[in-house]
Amino acid sequence: MSPPKTLSALPPDNNLFRTGNTNFAAALIATNQLAYARAELSEHGTVFVFEDPMQLAAELERRYQAEVFPHVSPRAYSMARSFLIEEIDRLRGRRVGGHHASKA
């Protein structure tokens, strides 16, 4: 998986799709349906942002909910989820030097 793009390289905001659903985000990445851009924190938690120049995300989400999404190999899905969990940790600042920071 490639690292997130810089903010200057992102398309206009109306060409972005945001989801807080880690499972759906991992499936999008694993099936290469939309290009992952970045993760950001919101008052509701972590939000994953994808480039969606053709505005397909609503249809992809409908298919995902209906369980007619393209097949995701368990290995690719697991790798994508691990990547997103690392992104969440990075954003929340819980990792220090590759190890979880103490909660003290």
| pTM of the model as a whole | 0.76
- The pLDDT tens digits for 24-51 are 999 999 999 999 999 999 888 999 999 9
Average pLDDT of the chain to the nearest whole number: 84
Q: Kindly report the number of other CB atoms within 10 A of residue 79's CB atom.
A: 15
Give the Cα separation of 11 and 77 in Å (integer): 26
User: What does the pLDDT average to over 8-22?
Assistant: 78
> Count of residues for the chain?
104
Q: Taking Cα atoms as reference points, which of 90, 85, 67, 66 lies closest to residue 26?
A: 85
What is the model's pLDDT at position 12? 62
